[in-house]
Each structure stands twice: as C-alpha cells, then as structure tokens.
C-alpha cells in the first residue's frame, strides 16, 4: 500500500544494510509515521509484546525475521530452538505466530548452522510474499460477495468492521479490508462503519487511517453502536479478520467481535470472516474452550492515549498524552480476544474461496488437511 505515493509493505529488510528489519511503529500511528529498525530477536519480541507490530499475519512474518536475526548471533541448534520458543510465546492467541516459527524451524533444522542465516532470511521473505498473495486472493473472493450486494443496492454497500484487519495487520492488502479496497477501486460506492475497538482503538486509529489514506468513505462509531445500526438497516454485511479459526470454524478475534456476530445474527446481516489459511488451527475444534485468550495489562482499559485537542490546551494542542479514565481504586480487566462460535459465522473468506464455517466447509477448500482433521 502507498504512503505519500511510495509503496510499502508492513515489514521489510533494510535495503541499505541488507539485514535489519523495518516496521512501522503501530503504537504511534496515526499521529506519527515512525519506522523502527529491529536488529535482534529481543527487539522483535519487544515489538510484538508491546504491539508496535500487531495483527495475526504480521506478527508471524516479523517473528520469522526475528529468528533470522537470532541466527546472525548464534546459529547453533540450541540457540535456534531457544530463540524460536521465546519468539513463539510473545503473544498467545494468534496462531500465525506459532505457524510461522514452526515453518521456519521445519526449514532450518535440516540446514547446517553455517548456512542457516541466509536460509532463514529467504524463508521469512517467502512467508511475506505468500501472505501478500493470499491476502490479494482473499480480496478477490470477498469482492464477489460485496459485488452481489452492490448489484442489489444500486452500487452501494455498507460494511461494518471491527479492530484492524487491513494492510498494516498483514504484510500487505489486509484480510477484511482487502475486499473493501478492491470494491472501492472498482467504483463500488462502499462505505465502512469502523468500530473504534476499545481498549486499544485499533479501529479508530489504524482502520480509519488506512481507509482515509485510500480514500474509502468511512465513519468511526463507538463499539456499542453496531447493533443499533443493524436494526435500522444501515449495515449490509460485517467483515472481520481473525487471529485463529478452529477446524470446526470457531473464530477468535479482537474482543467485542462476538457481540457483533450476535447482533448480525439477530438482524439477518451476513457476518463474514476473512483469513489466510495460516490462521487455521487444525489441531483444535472447540474455540471457546480451547483457544487461549490473551489477558493484557488492565491499564489499557483504565487509560486512553491521544493528541490533546483545544480549546483548553491550545499551546499544547497535538501533544500525545495518556489520560486516565477509571478512578483510582477501581479494578479493570482486559481480555483481548473473544471467540465467535461457528454457528454465528455466515462464511469464511479464504485465499481459496468462500466456505461454510464448519469442518466440512474448510475441508472442501483444503482437502489435503483431511488426515490432520480426522
């Protein structure tokens, strides 16, 4: 995607030095576009934990480069296994992280230590290229669904999305936002209701920023507004991304997604989930019981960060500050994801096509997984 007419991915190797890894600091967006340089596996782990990089596919891709950085310092078997385990544990819910580390190890275990660094960079680059191709295919498959609605509605589609599943959450394109970008580029009058997505506001900050830069009409809403809009016929479809889909089609995504699925179900609004196959966890069935939900620091609920606005503070307008929301002494809790049961999901939009959120649906697109799932 482009920033000031320059095409960027969300992660890349610095072309000047040929080895450090560059990312946008997503804790600073949209107020400031800061590019970070990561040169050790520990720096990568820190970037993932603090959500300087976030979004399921992107943290997998960045972690893969993290392992390449680790191998530059020590390419022995012991160091490789240790650093891989450390990177895989930086966040628990998104399965792409463990998938990417698993793929790197599968490739590198058979490579002699002196050849591992180059092999690791090559494999991480392949993961990135494949993610871009998968998201582009997801965009095309989701576009068919949006085109059908537009054909019925005089070229208009209103989509609601939650959190950020755009290009900044993947290597490029995004999952949930890829069909929206393509619909907009094709001249469909697409408008997006953007859930702010408390507590970290990935919708209000990142999705709104992405859509705005691409010229896609959008409106940021409080997280609680979606049900009301659906009751009044203002939402044609909900499309969200996901951090993990079980083989039976249960969907883990940013906290609050489940409530949107319930409201969509009650109002007959299609609820679609967009994902690359790297987000499917074939080893588990019941997402509510089996997916580990990340519990983040309660301070993310108890405070909010943003630039000061006038008129009270004209001199300091624009200065980014953190403001306390919760009185001292009140406890806060911060489960970061929830699980939407498959029965509430209208369809899964993957790189291979759209399927029912069920084991049979997923296996119809990924028949090679039949044995794993059995």
Residues carrying an active site annotation: 243
Judge contact between 240 and 337, C-beta under 8 A. no
Task: State the nearest-atom distance from the C-beta of 54 to ligand MRU, in Å.
Answer: 3
Closest residue by Cα to residue 216 from 260, 181, 242, 167? 181
Which residues are annotated binding-site positions for substrate? 54-56, 91, 202, 253-254
Please give the DSSP secondary-structure letter assigned to residue 122.
H
Residue 307 neighbours by CB distance under 10 Å? 13
**Residue 233 is encoded by which pair of tokens?**
């016929």
Task: State the nearest-atom distance from the C-beta of 262 to ligand MRU, in Å.
Answer: 17
Judge contact between 163 and 202, C-beta under 8 A. yes
Nearer to ligand MRU, 75 or 199 (CB): 199
Number of residues that bind ligand MRU (CB under 6 A): 17
Judge contact between 284 and 247, C-beta under 8 A. yes
Length of the chain in terms of residues written: 374
Residue 10 as a binder of ligand MRU (CB under 6 A): the answer is no
Residue 250 as a binder of ligand MRU (CB under 6 A): the answer is no
Q: How far apart are CA 193 and CA 256, in angstroms?
A: 15
Task: State the nearest-atom distance from the C-beta of 26 to ligand MRU, in Å.
Answer: 8
Measured distance between the N- and C-terminal CA atoms of the chain, rounded to whole angstroms: 40
* Block residue for tokens 């001249």: 187
Nearer to ligand MRU, 242 or 346 (CB): 242
Residue 56 as a binder of ligand MRU (CB under 6 A): the answer is yes
Q: How far apart are CA 193 and CA 235, in angstroms?
A: 8
Range in contact with ligand MRU (rule: CB under 6 A) among 28-36, 55-63, 103-111, 361-369 = 55-63
Range in contact with ligand MRU (rule: CB under 6 A) among 72-80, 118-126, 229-237, 239-247 = 239-247
Range in contact with ligand MRU (rule: CB under 6 A) among 52-60, 219-227, 350-358, 364-372 = 52-60
Task: State the nearest-atom distance from the C-beta of 141 to ligand MRU, in Å.
Answer: 15
SS3 at position 72: helix
Going from the C-alpha of 261 to that of each of 19, 266, 291, 310, 339, the distances in angstroms are 43, 9, 18, 37, 10
Nearer to ligand MRU, 169 or 348 (CB): 169
Interactions with ligand MRU, residue window 285-314 (CB under 6 A): none
Judge contact between 238 and 161, C-beta under 8 A. yes
| Interface pick for ligand MRU out of 24, 57, 145, 230 (rule CB under 6 A) | 57
Range in contact with ligand MRU (rule: CB under 6 A) among 162-170, 207-215, 312-320, 348-356 = 162-170
Residue 278 as a binder of ligand MRU (CB under 6 A): the answer is no
Residue 54 as a binder of ligand MRU (CB under 6 A): the answer is yes
Task: State the nearest-atom distance from the C-beta of 203 to ligand MRU, in Å.
Answer: 9
Interactions with ligand MRU, residue window 177-216 (CB under 6 A): 202
Nearer to ligand MRU, 243 or 359 (CB): 243
- Following DSSP, what letter does each residue of 150-166 receive, concatenated? HHHTTSEEEEEE-S--B
Closest residue by Cα to residue 248 from 343, 141, 365? 343
Q: How far apart are CA 288 and CA 88, in angstroms?
A: 22
Binding site for ligand MRU (CB under 6 A): 54-57, 94, 163, 165, 169-170, 175, 202, 241-243, 253-254, 336
């Amino acid at each position: 995607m482009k920033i000031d007419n320059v095409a960027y991915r969300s992660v890349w190797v610095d072309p000047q030095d040929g080895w450090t890894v560059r990312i946008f600091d997503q804790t600073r967006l949209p107020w400031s576009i800061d590019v970070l340089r990561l040169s050790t596996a520990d720096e990568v782990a820190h970037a993932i934990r603090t959500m300087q990089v976030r979004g399921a596919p992107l943290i997998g891709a960045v972690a893969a480069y993290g392992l390449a950085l680790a191998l530059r310092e020590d390419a022995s078997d012991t160091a490789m296994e240790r650093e891989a385990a450390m990177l895989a544990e930086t966040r628990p819910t998104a399965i792409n992280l463990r998938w990417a580390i698993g793929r790197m190890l599968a490739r590198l275990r058979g490579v002699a230590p002196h050849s591992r660094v180059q092999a690791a960079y090559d494999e991480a680059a392949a993961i990135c290229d494949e993610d871009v191709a998968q998201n582009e295919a997801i965009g095309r498959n989701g576009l068919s669904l949006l085109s059908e609605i537009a054909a019925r509605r005089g070229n208009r589609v209103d989509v609601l999305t939650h959190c950020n599943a755009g290009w900044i959450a993947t290597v490029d394109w995004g999952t949930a936002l890829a069909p929206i970008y393509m619909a907009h580029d094709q001249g469909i009058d697409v408008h997006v209701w953007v859930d702010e997505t408390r507590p970290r506001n990935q919708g209000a900050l990142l999705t709104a920023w992405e859509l705005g830069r691409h010229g896609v009409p959008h409106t940021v809403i409080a997280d609680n507004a979606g049900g009301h809009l659906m009751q009044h016929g203002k939402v044609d479809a909900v499309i969200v991304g996901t951090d993990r889909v079980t083989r039976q089609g249960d969907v883990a995504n940013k906290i609050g997604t489940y409530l949107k699925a319930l409201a969509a179900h009650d109002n007959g609004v299609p609820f679609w989930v967009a994902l690359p196959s790297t987000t499917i966890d074939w080893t588990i069935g019941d997402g509510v019981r089996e997916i580990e939900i990340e519990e983040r620091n309660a301070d993310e609920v108890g405070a909010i960060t943003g630039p000061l606005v006038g008129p009270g503070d004209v001199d300091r307008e624009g200065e980014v500050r953190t403001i306390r929301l919760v009185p001292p002494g009140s406890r806060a809790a911060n489960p970061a994801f929830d699980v939407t049961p498959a029965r509430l999901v209208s369809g899964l939009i993957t790189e291979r096509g759209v399927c029912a959120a069920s084991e049979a649906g997923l296996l119809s697109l990924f028949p090679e997984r039949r044995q794993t799932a059995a």
